[in-house]
Amino acid sequence: MAVTRTLPRLRARTLAVDAPGDLLTRVPDEVDPREVAAWLREGDGLVGWGRVAGVSATGPDRFREAETWWTQVRAAAEVEDEVRLPGTGLVTFGSFTFAADSRDESVLTIPRVVIGRRDGLAWVTQVVAEDEPWPVEHPAELLGRVNEDIEVADPLVESDGSVGAEDWPGVVAAAVRRIDLGEVDKVVLARDVTVRHREGRVVRVAPVLERLEKRYAATWTFAVSGLVGATPEMLVRLQGGKVRSRVLAGTIRRPNGIPAPDTDVPGTGDPAHPVDPRLRLVSSTKDLDEHDYAVRSVAEALAPHCSDLVVPEAPYVLELPDVYHLASDLIGTMHSEATSLRLAAALHPSAAVCGTPTEAAARVIGELEGMDRGRYAGPVGWMDGSGDGDWGIALRCGELADDRHSMRIFAGGGIVAASDPAAELAETEVKLTAMRHALGLTDA
C-alpha cells in the first residue's frame, strides 16, 4: 500500500537557458545526496535536486499506485513551459523495487530544480508548492555555481555483502541443478558488496555520477533517491507514440588494451581473428540462448501495446569499457493509452534480470540469492506530464543506505544449463568494476 498519500498542488515553470559544460557540476554540495536526481547520456539529459513532493509504494500494486498519484498531481498542477521538449515542464523521477515483497520502497520524486539539455537546447525547471516563491527569479543564477572538486572520489572501503565471493560459485551451482531438474530454463542471480566511507562522512553522489558519466558515456547514468548507477539497458522509451526497448543478455569480459568506443558498435569482430572475444560471444550457444529468452519476454510484453513491433533476427555486440554484451533494440508504435511507466511495469521483470519462466525464476531467486535486491534490477527513470519518458533497468548501480555513510553495490548474471560457476563469479566481478571505479575503489 502507498506510504505517502499527500496530493500537493504544484506550480512548475520551465525557461530556456544557456547551460554549457557538465550539468552535474551545478548540483550544490549542501544538497542531501538522496535528493539528487539524474538521467544522463553523453552529456545530455536531466539533473535535479531538492524534493518538492513524492510518493512511496510497496507491494504488487506499487506501479499502479505511483502512476495514479502522478496522474492526480500533474492534473492539479499549473505548468508554464516555454521549451516544450521531452523532459520539460513537470517531471518526476522514479525507482521501483525488483520484487513485490521487498522490504524497500518504490518511489516517485519531483525535484525542486531540474536542469535539462537536449540537442543543443537547455532549460531550467523550477517547481514549488502552490503558495511558495520560486527558488530564484532568474534561472541563470542556478548555473553560475560550479563545483570544482566534483571529480574527487571520497575514500571508501569494501566488505562482503549478503553472500561472500567465495560462496557465490555454490549458489550458481545450486541454480544449475534447479535448471537440470526442469524447474526453470534460465535464472538471473545477483550478489551485493558493501562499501563504507573510511572517515564516517556522507557518501557524495555527484562525484560518483561524474565518474560514471565520463567512463560509461554510452550508458544511461542515473540517480533517484539514493540509487546511483550507469545502466546499459533501456527497458522502455516512449516519445511521441514511438516505443523502444534495448535488451542486453549475454556477456563476455573485454580484454585489456582494446580501446573502448563511446558509441554502440554493431558487429561481430573480425572473423579472421578467432580469438576476438566478440566472435566468441556471438558464437556462444549459452549466451545466444540467454539472449533469446530475454528478447522473447520483452516482445511478448510489448505486443499488447504496440503495432509494427520490429524484433531483430539476431543481436549485435554492444561495446562497453569493461565488457561486451549481446544487444537487441526492439522498436514499435503505440496503439494503447499506456504511459511510459505502465509500459515499464508490463515489461518488469524481463528475462534479462529474472529468468524464464518468470514466476518460477523469481521463486528460485528468492530461495537462492540470499538477499533483498531492493531497487536493484528494477525500473529506474523519469516521466513527464504527457506520460512520455525513459525507464532503464537499475544495473551497474549502488543503493545509498539510510545513514548515507555506506552503499550496497550489485552485479549479476544469467544462469543457464551451460553456466560455469567460476565463470559466473568472474562475470559479477567485471560488472562490479563500474561502481568500484566510480567510488574510487579502483582506477581500472
Per the CB < 8 A criterion, the answer to whether 91 and 13 are in contact is no
Per the CB < 8 A criterion, the answer to whether 295 and 328 are in contact is yes
- 316 is written with which cell numbers? 549485435
The reply to whether 186 belongs to the active site is yes
- 281 is written with which cell numbers? 560471444
The reply to whether 78 belongs to the active site is no
Per the CB < 8 A criterion, the answer to whether 175 and 417 are in contact is no
Q: How far from 73 is each of 11, 69, 77, 395, CA to CA, in Å?
A: 10, 6, 6, 29
Q: 186, 290, 369, 431: which one is catalytic? A: 186
Q: Which amino acid, one-letter code, is at 290?
A: E
Q: Which amino acid, one-letter code, is at 176?
A: V
Backbone phi and psi for residue 212, each to the nearest 5 degrees, phi listed first: -65, -45
Per the CB < 8 A criterion, the answer to whether 124 and 114 are in contact is yes
Distance, in Å, from the CA atom of 234 to the CA atom of 381, rounded to the nearest integer, reads 9
How would you label 180-215 residue by residue, b for 16+ Cβ within 10 Å and e otherwise?
eeeebbbbbbbbbbbbbbeeeeebbbbbbbbbbbbb
- Among 194, 227, 197, smallest CA distance to 209 is for 227
Q: 65, 233, 369, 427: which one is catalytic? A: 233
Distance, in Å, from the CA atom of 232 to the CA atom of 77, rounded to the nearest integer, reads 33
For the chain, state the CA radius of gyration: 21
Distance, in Å, from the CA atom of 285 to the CA atom of 280, rounded to the nearest integer, reads 10
Three-state secondary structure call for residue 250: strand
| DSSP bridge pairs for 115 | 47, 124
- Among 428, 391, 434, 429, smallest CA distance to 413 is for 428
Kindly list the catalytic residues: 186, 233
